[in-house]
Chains A and B, each alone.
Chain A
Amino acid sequence: MNPTEAIPLLIVVLLMISIGGGDVQEMSVTFQGDNDIDSLADVHVVAGGTTTVPADATLEGDVYVIGGTAAIDGAVDGDVTLLNGNLSVNDGATVTGTLQTYSGAAVISSDASVGHVSQFEPPTPSSSPAQRIGAFLLQFLVLGAFGWWLAERHPSIIENVGAAITEHTLVSAVIGSLAATTLLVLFVYMAFTLILLPLAIVGLFAEFLIVLYGQAVFGYLIGMRLPIEADGVATLAGIAAFLLVLELLGLVPYLGGIAQLGVAVVGVGAVLNTYFGLQRFEPITIPGGT
């Protein structure tokens, strides 16, 4: 695991530490090689290689595994969290706190002593048709309410964004992809400084909202082509159709994902280009030529 690959999971670790509220002064990370550790910083992160807590060692602090392999033969006076990679708690080993597994492979010996074992079960939205329909309806309700409100109360705003999508698709795609990518990288690296972590969380949430805004406008554009007179109702119907198309695109391998991504970046670009719909986007007029 190289630094760039490790960064997202390291940020998750940092978030978990900050949410946990513990007084962490020092953190160490191993990325490769075979390492026996008999003393511990407040937090130790295993990101690669093999890290072993020897049978005769007693460590005070928390261990996070985000890659590689961690083998506990001795005692850990703290919590052990598995986010990715492999974890084995072997015969005679002791973990006084909670052993929490989110992902990866954990093997806990029956002869090991663990204070509390907790396994995170991720929600599986695709497990039942009812759940999928429920999620779809929730998405439709949120986007539909927003789209209906815009179409009924601020028609020129949604019209401006729509015009940017239909008349300047390439420009919207370029700006959307640039803005989405650079802001994403910016926020991730802001989070990594810890100082700017709150700003990064707000920024990522704002970026997500812009994507939703773009989706609502796509729904509006479809709605305006339906034989429905009332703009608000047409937008609602359009958003339903748009979300359905997005779902169907998701079933097409590779190309479907690319198309979904394309729609998202065009929407983001159109929203940004029109200052959230406050101004119609008009490209610069270049004088001269034929």
Chain B
Amino acid sequence: MGIVRNIRQRRWTTVAGYVLFVALMVAGYYYNITFVQLGLIDLGTRLVGMTETTVSMWMAALALVTLVVAVVTGVTMDRRGWSTDLRTKFRLLFGVVCVQFALTLVAPMVRTVPEFGAWIVLASIGLGVGFPVSFSLAIDLVPVPDRGYVAAAITAIAYFLANAVPLSWSIDVFSQLMVAAMAPGLLVLAVLSFVSYDRLDDLLDDLGAQHGIYGTGRFCHGASVRTRSLTFAVPVVLMFGVFFIDSLGFLRIIDTPSLLLSSWQSPELSTRLFIAVAHVVGAVMAGVIYANYSLSRIFLWTFALFALTHVMYTSDLRLAAVFPTIAGNGASPLNPALYAIAVSFYTTLNFALWPDLSTPETIGTHSAIGIGVAGWLATFSSTALALYFQAVDLTLLSHLNVVQALSLLLLFGLAVGLYARQMIELARENGGARA
């Protein structure tokens, strides 16, 4: 692991880069998965008085506007050379955090639909500018071979905090916590953006020059990955699929009180801690796999974990439907734990993938398109589909047995098929074992 070598060699500037990147990304991601994804639902329904459907539509709008703003920001960053200017990126990030700080502060005071709409648009702009800028910091701060482990650390810390720290999913609670957490962060970003003295300038100059070494991502060595190439499009589509499945599934789960109260909102600290630890285990596993295997392998694992997770959930629901007496009997924490591992897998992949598919010339555009399309567009589409399901009162229960058997068979067949093909190829090539 590169960070161990850097510590042994006392390369503190590089080590500071790791720490800074992890801290910034953890803060940003924690804000996203708590305040944005959960707090806004509470704000819209409880304080503004909208229906859950209306709030979901606003959330979908937020996703779409964020995507557009992100793509514009990413392309602009690359064209104007901001992607390779560390100070400029810190200044942009400082601006974003200022906007988010103000929005977070005023969020509990929002009471009308127009105010809520304006809040959503401003938040979209902040998020849309923020994530291409923050992801582009990877080329300055994180050595390529360590990106899997760094991504794992970000995922593990953010999800552990989000699950282990008992917070009510209310906008007031989120707002108070975020304001307190963002204030020192703002100060640090202000110093990094505007203060100038010799030691800090030297540090930033050194970090800013690192993109010459770390800028070319893992998948760009040899031939650069173009935005309009299959090499870039396939991961975008696959990640879209993962985000879509997760979002669609999670929207249903958080809408089911019996499932929610026995997992992410359980009054038992041990249950939430169990889920938090599962997130950490999943992130570490994903980091190790990302650093040691081809990209296809981690995608295969992610899909397999999601398939299994949903099979377990649907099987429980199917049983509960067939035997209604067990419906109120509490759910097993194993399902949300497996779900947590699957989510940590693709989140880790998401943090490492886009910088590794980019060069200093394309990091803004690629991270904007990657996260915008895979993350935000998938959220938009899954929300729209969930609303459609709700409108037509769709039930999949009657198909579940056949679908379950088929999905298991297909997944198993795919895994065995890939593995067996490799074994046969090896046996034919070597006529036995190869040392």
Q: Residues on A close to B: CB < 8 A?
A: 1-7, 29-33, 48-49, 154, 156-157, 159-160, 168, 170-171, 174-175, 177-178, 182, 185-186, 189-190, 192-193, 195-196, 199, 203, 275-280, 283-284, 286-290
* Whole-angstrom distance between the Cβ of A164 and the nearest chain B Cβ: 11
| Contact A278 B435, beta carbon cutoff 8 Å | no
12 pairs from A and B in contact (CB 8 Å cutoff): A2-B326, A4-B331, A157-B433, A175-B289, A182-B304, A182-B308, A193-B401, A193-B408, A284-B293, A287-B218, A288-B213, A290-B143
| Contact B6 A290, beta carbon cutoff 8 Å | yes
- Closest A residue to B401 using CB positions: A193
* Whole-angstrom distance between the Cβ of A131 and the nearest chain B Cβ: 35
| Residue of A32, A33, A199 ringed by the most chain B CB atoms within 10 A | A32
Specify which chain A residues have a CB less than 8 angstroms from the CB of B384 in the assembled complex. Answer: none
| Contact A3 B316, beta carbon cutoff 8 Å | yes
Count chain B residues whose beta carbon lies closer than 8 angstroms to a beta carbon of A. 60
One of B80-88, B183-191, B317-325 at the interface: B317-325
Contacts A5-B332, A186-B308, A278-B427 given; indicate if A174 touches B288 (C-beta within 8 A). yes
Specify which chain A residues have a CB less than 8 angstroms from the CB of B285 in the assembled complex. Answer: 174, 177-178
Specify which chain B residues have a CB less than 8 angstroms from the CB of A154 in the assembled complex. Answer: 432-433
| Contact A3 B319, beta carbon cutoff 8 Å | yes
Specify which chain B residues have a CB less than 8 angstroms from the CB of A168 in the assembled complex. Answer: 292
| Contact B323 A289, beta carbon cutoff 8 Å | no
* Whole-angstrom distance between the Cβ of A114 and the nearest chain B Cβ: 28
Q: Does B329 contact A (CB under 8 A)?
A: yes
Specify which chain A residues have a CB less than 8 angstroms from the CB of B6 in the assembled complex. Answer: 290
* Whole-angstrom distance between the Cβ of A281 and the nearest chain B Cβ: 9
In the bound complex, what is the Cα–Cα distance between A170 and B293 (angstroms)?
13
- Closest A residue to B422 using CB positions: A275
* Whole-angstrom distance between the Cβ of A55 and the nearest chain B Cβ: 24
Q: A174-B285, A289-B2 are in contact. List 7 more A-B contacts (CB 8 A).
A: A3-B319, A7-B319, A154-B433, A174-B288, A190-B405, A278-B427, A284-B294
- Closest A residue to B322 using CB positions: A29
In the bound complex, what is the Cα–Cα distance between A185 and B411 (angstroms)?
13
Pick from A29, A48, A190, A279: contact of B408, CB below 8 A.
A190
* Whole-angstrom distance between the Cβ of B286 and the nearest chain A Cβ: 9
Q: Top 7 nearest A-B pairs by Cβ distance?
A: A288-B144, A4-B332, A283-B292, A31-B326, A3-B319, A156-B433, A287-B221
- Closest B residue to A276 using CB positions: B423
| Contact A186 B323, beta carbon cutoff 8 Å | no
| Contact A3 B423, beta carbon cutoff 8 Å | no
Specify which chain A residues have a CB less than 8 angstroms from the CB of B2 in the assembled complex. Answer: 289-290
Contacts A178-B301, A290-B6 given; indicate if A30 touches B408 (C-beta within 8 A). no
In the bound complex, what is the Cα–Cα distance between A236 and B319 (angstroms)?
49
* Whole-angstrom distance between the Cβ of A201 and the nearest chain B Cβ: 14
| Contact A3 B427, beta carbon cutoff 8 Å | no
In the bound complex, what is the Cα–Cα distance between A168 and B329 (angstroms)?
44
In the bound complex, what is the Cα–Cα distance between A182 and B305 (angstroms)?
7
Q: How many A-B residue pairs have CB under 8 A?
A: 147
| Contact A283 B434, beta carbon cutoff 8 Å | no
Report B139-169 CB contacts with A as 1/0, cut-off 8 Å: 0000111100000000000000000000000
- Closest A residue to B317 using CB positions: A3
| Contact B218 A195, beta carbon cutoff 8 Å | no
Give the residues from 264 to 304 in chain B that come closer than 8 angstroms, CB to CB, to chain A: 284-285, 288-289, 291-294, 301, 304
| Residue of B213, B294, B311, B330 ringed by the most chain A CB atoms within 10 A | B311
| Contact B5 A290, beta carbon cutoff 8 Å | yes
| Contact A193 B404, beta carbon cutoff 8 Å | yes
Pick from B146, B401, B405, B426: contact of A289, CB below 8 A.
B146
Q: Does B381 contact A (CB under 8 A)?
A: no
In the bound complex, what is the Cα–Cα distance between A157 and B308 (angstroms)?
32
* Whole-angstrom distance between the Cβ of A66 and the nearest chain B Cβ: 13
Pick from A4, A29, A190, A193: contact of B335, CB below 8 A.
A4
| Contact B213 A289, beta carbon cutoff 8 Å | yes
Q: Does B334 contact A (CB under 8 A)?
A: yes
Specify which chain B residues have a CB less than 8 angstroms from the CB of A160 in the assembled complex. Answer: 433-435
Report B117-154 CB contacts with A as 1/0, cut-off 8 Å: 00000000000000000000000000111100000000
Specify which chain B residues have a CB less than 8 angstroms from the CB of A1 in the assembled complex. Answer: 329
- Closest B residue to A159 using CB positions: B435
In the bound complex, what is the Cα–Cα distance between A290 and B18 (angstroms)?
14
* Whole-angstrom distance between the Cβ of A150 and the nearest chain B Cβ: 10
* Whole-angstrom distance between the Cβ of A33 and the nearest chain B Cβ: 6
Q: Does B395 contact A (CB under 8 A)?
A: no
Q: Does B216 contact A (CB under 8 A)?
A: yes
Q: Does B430 contact A (CB under 8 A)?
A: yes
In the bound complex, what is the Cα–Cα distance between A277 and B145 (angstroms)?
27
| Contact B221 A288, beta carbon cutoff 8 Å | yes
| Contact A286 B433, beta carbon cutoff 8 Å | no
* Whole-angstrom distance between the Cβ of B21 and the nearest chain A Cβ: 15
Contacts A31-B329, A178-B285, A286-B291 given; indicate if A196 touches B409 (C-beta within 8 A). yes
* Whole-angstrom distance between the Cβ of A43 and the nearest chain B Cβ: 14
In the bound complex, what is the Cα–Cα distance between A184 and B312 (angstroms)?
12
| Contact A193 B326, beta carbon cutoff 8 Å | no
| Contact B289 A174, beta carbon cutoff 8 Å | yes
In the bound complex, what is the Cα–Cα distance between A57 and B296 (angstroms)?
61
Give the residues from 94 to 110 in chain B that come closer than 8 angstroms, CB to CB, to chain A: none
| Residue of A170, A283, A288 ringed by the most chain B CB atoms within 10 A | A288
| Contact A280 B315, beta carbon cutoff 8 Å | no
Specify which chain B residues have a CB less than 8 angstroms from the CB of A32 in the assembled complex. Answer: 325-326, 329
Contacts A189-B315, A193-B408, A286-B144 given; indicate if A171 touches B426 (C-beta within 8 A). no
Q: Does B412 contact A (CB under 8 A)?
A: yes
Specify which chain B residues have a CB less than 8 angstroms from the CB of A29 in the assembled complex. Answer: 323
Specify which chain A residues have a CB less than 8 angstroms from the CB of B334 in the assembled complex. Answer: 4
In the bound complex, what is the Cα–Cα distance between A186 and B427 (angstroms)?
28
In the bound complex, what is the Cα–Cα distance between A175 and B297 (angstroms)?
11
Specify which chain A residues have a CB less than 8 angstroms from the CB of B320 in the assembled complex. Answer: 3
Q: Does B214 contact A (CB under 8 A)?
A: yes
| Contact B423 A33, beta carbon cutoff 8 Å | no
In the bound complex, what is the Cα–Cα distance between A254 and B401 (angstroms)?
39
- Closest A residue to B332 using CB positions: A4
Give the residues from 212 to 261 in chain B that come closer than 8 angstroms, CB to CB, to chain A: 213-214, 216-218, 221
- Closest B residue to A277 using CB positions: B433
| Contact B218 A3, beta carbon cutoff 8 Å | no
Contacts A2-B332, A195-B405, A290-B2 given; indicate if A280 touches B292 (C-beta within 8 A). no
Contacts A2-B332, A31-B329, A283-B293 given; indicate if A275 touches B426 (C-beta within 8 A). yes
